[in-house]
Amino acid sequence: MNNLPIFLSLLLISSLYLNPIVSAQRYAAIFNFGDSLADAGNLCADGIPAYLATARLPYGMNFFGFPTGRCSDGRIVTDFIAQELGLPLLPPSKAHNATFHRGANFAITGATAMDISFFEGRGLGKNIWNAGSLHTQLKWFDEMKPSICSSPQDCRDLFRRSLFIVGEFGGNDYNAPIFAFRKMDEVHELIPFVVDSISKAVEKLIADGAVELVVPGVLPIGCFPVYLTIFNNEAVKNFGPQSGCLRNFNTLAWAHNSMLQRAILRLRNKYPGVRIIYGDFYTPIVQFMLHPEKFGFYKQPPRACCGAAGMGSYNFNLTAKCGDPGATACADPTTHWNWDGIHLTEASYGHIAKGWLYGPYADPPILSRSSAQ
Peptide bond into 365 cis (omega under 30): no
Who contacts 4 (Cβ-Cβ below 8 Å, separation ≥6)? Answer: none
What's residue 234's pLDDT?
A: 57
> What is the helix (H) or strand (E) element at residue 275, kind and residue range?
strand 275-279
Query: Mean per-residue pLDDT for 84-88?
Result: 97
E strand intervals along 87-188 = 103-105, 162-166
Q: What share of the chain is helix, strand, coil (3-state, %, to 5)?
A: 45, 10, 45
**Per-residue confidence at 1, pLDDT binned at 50, 70, 90?**
very low
Question: 325: burial class by Cβ within 10 Å (0-12, 13-18, 19+)?
Answer: exposed
What's residue 312's pLDDT?
A: 82
pLDDT in tens, 320-350: 999 999 999 999 999 999 999 999 999 999 9
What's residue 60's pLDDT?
A: 97
Residue type, 312: G
pLDDT in tens, 132-151: 999 999 999 999 999 999 99
Phi-psi region for residue 31, left (φ > 0), alpha (ψ -120 to 50) or beta? Answer: beta
Query: Mean per-residue pLDDT for 177-184?
Result: 97
pLDDT in tens, 265-306: 999 999 999 999 999 999 999 999 999 999 999 999 999 999
**Spatial contact of 348 and 264, defined as CB atoms under 8 Å apart:** no
d(CA 300, CA 298): 6
pLDDT in tens, 37-70: 999 999 998 888 888 899 999 999 999 999 999 9
Q: What percent of the chain has pLDDT over 70?
A: 91
What's residue 237's pLDDT?
A: 60
Closest residue by Cα to residue 234 from 220, 248, 251, 224? 248
Q: Name the 3-class secondary structure at 341.
A: coil
Q: How far, CA to CA in Å, does 73 sit from each of 158, 172, 197, 301, 371?
A: 32, 21, 31, 20, 32
What's residue 102's pLDDT?
A: 97
Greater model confidence, 310 or 262: 262
Q: What mean pLDDT is reported for the chain?
A: 91
pLDDT in tens, 207-227: 999 999 999 999 999 999 999
pLDDT of 235 > 70? The answer is: no
Which active-site residues does the annotation give? 36, 340, 343
What's residue 218's pLDDT?
A: 98
d(CA 160, CA 33): 17
**Per-residue confidence at 236, pLDDT binned at 50, 70, 90?**
low
Phi-psi region for residue 29, left (φ > 0), alpha (ψ -120 to 50) or beta? Answer: beta
How close are the terminal C-alpha atoms of the chain, in Å? Answer: 31
pTM for the complete prediction? 0.91
d(CA 148, CA 25): 19
